Amino acid sequence: MSQLPLLTILLACPVLGLAAILVTPARYPGAIRRIAAASGLAAAAVVVVLWMRFDPQAPGFQFVERVRWVPSFGIEWHNGVDGLNLPLLALTAIVFLTGVLVMWELEERVKEYFALMTLLVIGVYGVFMTLDLFFFVFYYEVAVLPMYLLIAVWGSTRKEYGAMKLTLYLLVGTALVVPAALALYWGAGQGTFDLTRLAAAHYGRSFQLLVYPFLFVGFGILAGMWPLHTWSPVGHVAAPTAVSMLHAGVLMKLGAYGILRVAMPLLPQGAHYWAQATAILATVNIVYGAFVALNQTDLKFVIGYSSVSHMGIVLLGLSTLSETGVNGAVFQMFSHGVMTALFFAAVGYIYDRLHTRDIRELGGLSRTLPVASAFFIVAALTGAGVPGFSSFWAELLVFLATLQAYPVLAVVVVVALTITLAYSIRVIVRAFFGEPHEAHPGVADIGWFLSVPRAVLVGFLLLFGFAPRLILGVIEPATRALVQSWH
Amino acid sequence: MSQLHWYLLVAVLLFCIGLYGLVQRRSLIAMLIALELMLAAISLNVVAITSLAGGDAESATGNVSSAGQVVAVILIGVAAAEGAIALSLFVAIQREVQSINVEDLSELKG
Amino acid sequence: MNWDAFLFGSSAALALIGALFAVSLKNIFHNILGFALALVGVAGLFLTLGSDFLAIVLLLVYVGALGIAMVYAVMLSQPLDTPRTPRSLPKIAGSALLAALVAMALWLVIRRAHFPGPPEVLEVAPQWIGRRLLQDYVLAFELISVLLVVAMIGAVMVARRDPGRRAPGTAAGTAPRPGAPR
Amino acid sequence: MTGPTLAALLAQFAPLAACAVVLVALRGRPRTAAALAIAGMAVSFAASAWLVAAVAVPGRSFLAQTVFLPVDQAHSLAFGVLLDTLSTTMALVVSAVTLAVMVYSTGYMAGDPGFARYYGFLALFGWAMQGLVLSANLLQTLAFWELVGLASFLLIGFWFERAAPAAAARKAFIMTRVGDVGFLLGVLLLIRTLGLATIPDVIAAAAPGGALTGRTIAVAAALLLMGVIGKSAQGPLFTWLPDAMEGPTPVSALLHSATMVAAGVYLVARLHPLFLAAPDVMRGLLWLAIATALATATMAMVATDIKRVLAYSTISQLAYMLMGLAAGSVTAGYFHLVTHAGFKALLFLSAGIFIHHAHSNDMREIAGRDPRAQRAGAIGLVAGSAALAGVIPFAGYFSKEAILGAVGAHGTTLVLALAYAGAALTAYYSFRMVFLTLVPAGAGATEAGGAHGGHGGTGAPAHRRTPGERAMGVTVLVLAALTLVLGYLGPWLGVRLLPGEAVREPFELGTGALVALALVAAGIGLAWIEFGRAGAPRIGFLERVPALARFCGDNWYLDRLYRATVVRWAAALARAAQWNDRTVVDGATDGVANGTVGGGRLLALVQNGNVQAYLTVAALLLAALAYALGRVAVAP
Amino acid sequence: MALSRLFALSPEAALAVTALLVFGALMTERHRTRRARQAAYVGGVLVLAASLLTMGRSEEFFWATYRVDAFSQLVKAAVAVGFLIGAFIAGEVRGQREDVRGEVFFFLLASATGLMALASAVELVALYLAMEIASFSLFVLVPMCDQCQMGREAALKFIVIGLAASAVTLFGLSLVVGFTGTTRLDEIAAQLPQLASEPALSFGVALFLAGLLFKLAVFPFHFWAPDVYQAASHGIAAFVATASKVGAIAVLARLVTAAGLGGTRLVTALAVLAAVSMTLGNLVAIVQRDVKRMLAYSAVAQAGYVVVGLVAFTRDGVAAALFYGLIYLLMNAAAFLVVARVGADGTNPQLDDLKGLHRRSPLLAATLLLALFALAGVPPTAGFVGKWFLFAAAMGQGWWLLVLLAAVNSTISVYYYLVAVKYAYLLPDERKRGPLPLSFGDRALCYALSGAVVALGVFPTALYRVAERAAQLLP
């Protein structure tokens, strides 16, 4: 195909943005913001082009770019898109752009902030587009590390602790992934890190059984897998708004995507062998996360634990190893990404204005900040699985697949939906209903400019809530091919 | 036990006596003495093995095996150089801290 | 009991006893004397191996140069009247144990070594040593000369009294005094 | 796209469009918002009416669907509209009541700060309910089912600043969700087994020789029934409905009596063949319904809040509908649904007039504020109560008669007797309400009970009626007229719903009907003796026993039971999970971290500053290496 | 012909010229320090250029005991870079005893000479002597510290451990000579296979390696490193941390391939040492407050990583180790440059001194960030690819447990690197110190090193090719 290297162009958007931010003197924060927004917008535009030109029915990867990078190790600059990563690229574009807009009012160390955020996004885009195992891990870590500074410098509650905990946890994950990746390289014996060729390689059964847990746990940590999830709420609470958005919205998906893109296609026997165990872990995630969320008083903690719970649904969908389940999982990745970004965007505004997120000190927010509250309530309802928003369908697919694969777990997670609803409603009723708290007299409600990014997020939730076919039509052929390759 | 092994035994013992001095004595000069003993033991080792076992007789220049002897000569030179450096430092240290007791020199730790 | 064995036995005994003196006696001068004794023993061992030249060089460099340098160093550095701290018995025992352990370990390895080649004593004429030093060991020869130069200059520099330092143990004045070499 | 499809889409999406515009753009312009919402609903109503005319013909049904949710390569779920008599008439009922309530609300909610939001939510509800009614796929039904729940949550909690409505909204949402868990599982089970969930296909599969086994049918039916129980406030899950009365009265009229709570009944009617294929489940439902009907009747007998009385009566009447369905008659159950929608909406809206006027829900307080001056309200209340009680010729009589007939034909004598007893109690508590409200009390009869406030708006003075209040009156009167008419629909419905079933003549007064009428008369009489006549004690026979009064007034202590068990356990579990997270999981993490740092401290001790110690370490390692190598040499 | 053959020795010739220049500069009365420094710069550049120019050469000298090939010239170039950076960081040589400031350059040069000879020597005695030259020069440099009281103590430990290590090395040498009768690497390598069953010979080889492990600061010969890093003045510490390490890595690579130890128990021993080094270095680094001392412990850990690559005993492993050595030079140079500029008065910066660095000098803070991330092995810096290659080589030989441990260790290391980053970027400076002045050279070097660290992280191919070619030349 002699067409434009769209994926490289996509990656170039934030890279150029980063370069431009770095050369812009720090005394021009406005210009820096605009550069960041422009790079986000450009990337989003490229994603739109990708989506338009993407042919769901075509087999294999599209927009493939391939350049030899380190030939002696078989490392290649190899990018491609299929139905599994296209939605996630779109998610990244959405969340990054809205994240930049949400932080428009940031005053403190603007240059460093946007530089780091752009770096983070480079990593995320990279992970989602690359088809080379080396670059996969490369970008994966690129995405993880700016988090430390982003949280520690611009964060709030226990930020240093949260930042360090998050970073170390995630790096423990990579410490498991790196040896596993190298084992995959040598195990295939083809001298390549090309994921598509590694997927075709045949690994021995015992190899698969040994290596799979490393990959699953390694990536699973980033996906908030129980019991290695505690970095996530703490980190989210500490992080500034847009970082929380990116982190819970996109970064946690990297983990699940790693499982989906690396662990499961390369080690199908391992996946089958461990599926039951991972399904149980995922179920614990869902139920446990919901229960802990039920007892939180900090809005962000609630969201953090709800993320744990919702990512459990993704893991559960993957663990079913069925087309339906994987469809649901990918869809849920997207939906949860948008939803949780909206969550944090809403809370971010509230926190900026009222300087507290403790629901005991809040109340009647729907009166004082009706629009900002509405955004939160929409997110909460999405999280609680209200139809009309995209999560509902995603979760439904996962539940359906689970009922097929693990009926008992399906009953458990469906019953746990009541808890999910309970914690969402609890927060809404406590913080947004009731008399306005006397400590927070009149503050300005969210203006139109800051509403726009949040409204965009709501729009996507609704769009795919009303027309899940739009996204599932993209995902489904890819999962079909993936699942067929297992049998 | 062959003749060579007797020599080797002496060398090992000498080496370990040196080691004992090195880790036991507090005086820096005594430690240097111990070190030099170790070097002497190594010289003995080298000369004994090459003299009594020979290795292969040919070398690049076609000479008979005298590698051990050459090594020993160089070793002796090295020992002298080491002695020079070490002694000068010990003297400097003594001037500085009024002691050449190695146990007094343990500020850098952790 | 032949002459060789006697010479070997007495030299070895001299070397070991001297070495023990060198490490165990309290007086530093006795140590140096013991050191010299040990080296004489080693030189004797060299003689039994037919390395007369080496024996002489050893005595010259070690006993002649190093021993004297040590004596000087002692004179320069260690006032003989400083009170001695008593030896610590645990340290002696520990060190001895360590030395014994290492000796046993080394011996464990070495005693089973089968060195190739015929067990015959080769007389090596000094001229062969010289020749090799200037032929295939010429690089080593050059390097050791560099090493010695570095060591000499270094020794001078290290030992030289620091003119910028007023008293030991206090921080040197940061302002360069006039006339100090820059 | 054919006409019916278009009409069905219009019926659904006109309210949604109105809702979207109102909520996004018109929050600051209440009058426009109301007008737009009403217009949207009117379109929906018109479309529904057209649909009834077009589709509600015996033996006719219409299905249009399109792929909505791909599941895997072999299956994808199609959503669409299923149009037949059941769905179109239900759509008409829903749109009619919604429209009525919207018109009524222009008066009732006038001046409320959330006026526009209110209409937005109502329109949202209109969309969701129409979608539920017209949906062709069980999953679609489930989706709208949840959306209806959402609308209910938003509307109950409309006055969110007050604690009681907020709590009631939460309770309603979560409690119905408990039932929905079963619904969801049931639907998933059907999809898993059949690969689809299109309603006609499911029904076909449930037919003898269909794809479903009896066991699967039973399990699926039981699971679906959980949803029904939650939504229609039956059995153990009814307690949310009385609390839901904290919402604005028109909302109660619409959602919590006429339409939304009837969704459960509608679902059973919709899937009636499937349920009939699970006779054990149906028997269970019958008993549950009877128990619910009687239990809630006792509660209605002691309540003093007019809306709570109506709420309990709603539950009781829903139980009757389910009784009819469980007894095997889809016509009877559905017929009662339709008539109930009319007269219960009427009752609530009439009550709303009093509440609006008196700013109180307490019947005794209303009685003290010259209730008869509200002429339309009084008429509506009496007519509605008569219908509720089953007084001939009001609508309730015919439908209830049909149900009792079905139960009689199907069940045992005991069942029938209990059903009759329930009818008598219904008559008693409905007229207790009438007398308590309309007959002014004697001196000092009022004790300001738990005065649940009326509403947030400032009502206009009674003597000068605003256009809004006139709209309220007109609405009530129209509905009152309807209660007289609706009763004659029975045969019309019967023919269309279940062609071939014997149609009962409305005025065929058999033994059963006579017994029932007698019981109704007795109930009304007792109510008159205790409340209506001059010098009546105005205290009911149940209320004379304080323990019983407390027991019945407190939902038979069910809420207490839930609080003491489920709620407490969930909270305890949540606390335990949190403790585990903080102490065990995080503790382990921090332990590892501290252990690492501690290990660093410990290892730093090795660097103790003594060079001889360093040498010792190195020497020991060399010795170890020598030993290792020496051993290898010895081994072979 | 003969002349063009001799051209291959031009780096050495340049060294000699430089030595003369520096010596001459030291003879002058006024501005001797500055002149010596300039001479050192000129010489360093000359040597670098000569090394690069002779990269394609392949010649042997001194009866084939001195080999000039791509491998040696690569290492020489690296050493030259390290020397230049060390000399640059030493700069005005604050913190060094006043009277010998100029001599610092001479001894740095001497040490560099030793390291270069190390790269080319293919004969054990010459190898050993080259190593000693490199060490002795440093023995001399460390104690001539002015501000830091600990200089002499550190030097004492450096010397005692160094001499003990040298004794161990020589003991090993004696055994090797005894078995093979030669000290030439190629002849030894030729004889090793038939002597494989001799544990004493393996032991000898192991003991010989000990000397290199000492230079590389691998456990248990690492004890000098923290003290020396801490006590030596910045420029010297930088030299020890960069050039000296590269030389040691190079010669270790040459030796392990020559010795053909793959599969023997010695390899296990090396692996154990690597594991202990990584773990110990990283754990102890956590509790350090002095930045240079922390870097020293981190160096111990890094040495462990390098050995992880070397235990593979494959061309990949050697190439990876070489590559890592080269990028390690860059990232450590960057770190030490920051340390030197933060502690511009010659004192050692503590972690607290890093506070507010991002305000005092954003460039230094960014350089430190990149350097530390590179040391931690975080992409997009070169540290990541470097470690990836190392671990990949080890994994290829089935050392998965070792690789896992190394990966976990990388995570641990991130902790203390991040703590340093935290001080530099996060904590406010209570003392409200003013901005740090940076010279043009400082800025340029900051940009160059940061740029190189990132560029090599994203585009490692070219440099890795060179390392690979060099590795292929080894016996």
**pLDDT, position A320:** 92
**pLDDT, position C29:** 86
**pLDDT, position D446:** 41
Above pLDDT 90, what percent of chain A? 53
Q: CA distances (Å), E107 to each of E9, E12, E36, in order?
A: 21, 16, 11
Is B109 inside any structural domain?
no
Q: Where are the beta strands (DSSP E) in C18-92?
A: none
Least CA distance to C13: which residue of chain B?
A: B10
**Top-confidence residue, C61 or A412:** A412
Which residues of chain C are at the E interface, by a Cβ-Cβ cutoff of 8 Å?
A: 109-110, 112-117, 135-140, 143-144, 146-147, 150-151, 153-155, 157-158, 160, 162-165, 169, 171-172, 176, 180-182
Per-window interface: B 41-70 vs C, CB < 8 A: 41, 43-44, 47-49, 51-57, 59-61, 63-67, 69-70
The one-letter code for the residue type at E22 is: V
Phi-psi map region of B90: left, alpha, beta (phi>0 left; psi -120 to 50 alpha)? alpha
CB atoms within 10 A of CB C52: 15
Is B110 inside any structural domain?
no
**What integer is the mean pLDDT of B104-110?**
76
Least CA distance to B86: which residue of chain C?
A: C155
Whether D157 sits inside 8 A of A386 (CB atoms) is no
Per-window interface: E 319-348 vs C, CB < 8 A: none
Give CA–CA dist A456/A95, Å, rounded.
Answer: 10
Is B31 inside any structural domain?
yes
User: D560-593 in b/e burial notation, b at 16+ Cβ within 10 A?
Assistant: eebeeeeeeebeebbeebbebbeeebbeebeeeb
The answer to whether A73 touches A60, Cβ cutoff 8 Å, is no
User: Best mutation site among E111, E124, E150, E156 for testing chain B: the one with the most B CBs within 10 Å?
Assistant: E156
- Helices assigned H by DSSP within D411-536: 413-438, 467-486, 490-497, 511-527
Highest mean pLDDT among A345-354, D183-192, E58-67: D183-192
Residues in C closer than 8 angstroms to B63, CB to CB, are 128, 131-132, 135
Is B39 inside any structural domain?
yes
List the chains bordering chain D where 3 or more Cβ pairs fall under 8 Å: A, B, C, E
Residues in D closer than 8 angstroms to B19, CB to CB, are 615, 619
Is B10 inside any structural domain?
yes
For residue C178, what pLDDT band results from cuts at 50, 70 and 90? very low
**pLDDT, position C164:** 52
pLDDT digit string, tens, across residues A167-176: 888 889 999 9
**pLDDT, position D42:** 95
**What integer is the mean pLDDT of E277-289?**
92
Q: How far is CA A76 from the centre of its chain?
A: 25
Q: Which residues contact B4 (CB under 8 A, 6 or more apart)?
A: B48, B49, B52, B53, C115, C119
Which residues of chain E are at the B interface, by a Cβ-Cβ cutoff of 8 Å?
A: 63-64, 125, 129, 132, 136, 139-140, 143, 149-150, 152-157, 159-160, 163-164, 166-167, 170-171, 173-175, 177-184, 187, 191, 226-227, 230-231, 284, 287-288
Q: CA distances (Å), E454 to each of A126, A141, B1, E373, in order?
A: 16, 14, 62, 10
Per-window interface: E 110-139 vs C, CB < 8 A: 110, 113-114, 117, 121, 123, 125-126, 129-130, 132-133, 136-137, 139
* CA-CA-CA-CA dihedral for E298, E302, E305, E311, to nearest 10: -130
pLDDT digit string, tens, across residues D331-341: 889 999 999 99
Least CA distance to E404: which residue of chain A?
A: A179
**pLDDT, position E438:** 86
Q: Domain containing B83: what range?
A: 3-104
Above pLDDT 70, what percent of chain D? 93
Least CA distance to B41: which residue of chain C?
A: C42
**What integer is the mean pLDDT of A197-204?**
87
Is B37 inside any structural domain?
yes
Query: What is the nearest CA distance from B60 to chain E, expressed in angstroms?
Result: 8
Pairing assessment for the beta strands A75-81 and D61-70 based on DSSP bridges: unpaired
For residue A450, what pLDDT band results from cuts at 50, 70 and 90? confident
Considering chain D, what is the average pLDDT of its residues? 87
**pLDDT, position D631:** 74
CA–CA–CA angle D218, D220, D224 (5° rounding): 115
CA–CA–CA angle B45, B51, B56 (5° rounding): 110
D609 touches chain B (CB under 8 A): yes
Give CA–CA dist D302/D308, Å, rounded.
Answer: 10
pLDDT digit string, tens, across residues D65-105: 888 888 888 888 888 999 988 999 999 999 999 999 999 99
The one-letter code for the residue type at A2 is: S
DSSP class of E193:
G
Q: Give the three-class secondary structure for A394.
A: helix
Per-window interface: B 70-89 vs C, CB < 8 A: 70, 72-74, 76-85, 87-89
List the chains bordering chain C where 3 or more Cβ pairs fall under 8 Å: B, D, E
Considering chain B, what is the average pLDDT of its residues? 81
Of the listed ranges A466-475, D416-425, D617-626, E2-11, the one predicted with least confidence: E2-11
User: Best mutation site among D590, D621, D627 for testing chain E: the one with the most E CBs within 10 Å?
Assistant: D621
* CATH number of the domain that residue B78 is part of: 1.10.287.3510
Per-window interface: A 129-148 vs E, CB < 8 A: 134, 137-139, 141-142, 145, 148
Per-window interface: D 600-619 vs C, CB < 8 A: 616, 619
Q: Is the model's pLDDT at C137 over the cut of 90? A: no
Of the listed ranges D95-109, D439-453, D541-555, E434-448, the one predicted with least confidence: D439-453
User: Best mutation site among A400, A437, A475 for testing chain D: the one with the most D CBs within 10 Å?
Assistant: A400
Residues in A closer than 8 angstroms to D581, CB to CB, are 230, 288, 292
Whether E164 sits inside 8 A of D600 (CB atoms) is no
Q: CA distances (Å), D298 to each of D172, D495, D550, in order?
A: 22, 36, 11
**pLDDT, position D228:** 93
Domain tally, chain B: 1
Residues in A closer than 8 angstroms to E407, CB to CB, are 174-176, 178-179
B93 touches chain D (CB under 8 A): no
Predicted model pTM: 0.90
Residues in C closer than 8 angstroms to B30, CB to CB, are 22-23, 28, 31
Whether B28 sits inside 8 A of E179 (CB atoms) is no
Q: Is the model's pLDDT at B63 over the cut of 50? A: no
Query: What is the nearest CA distance from D55 to chain A, expressed in angstroms?
Result: 27
Residues in C closer than 8 angstroms to D629, CB to CB, are 109
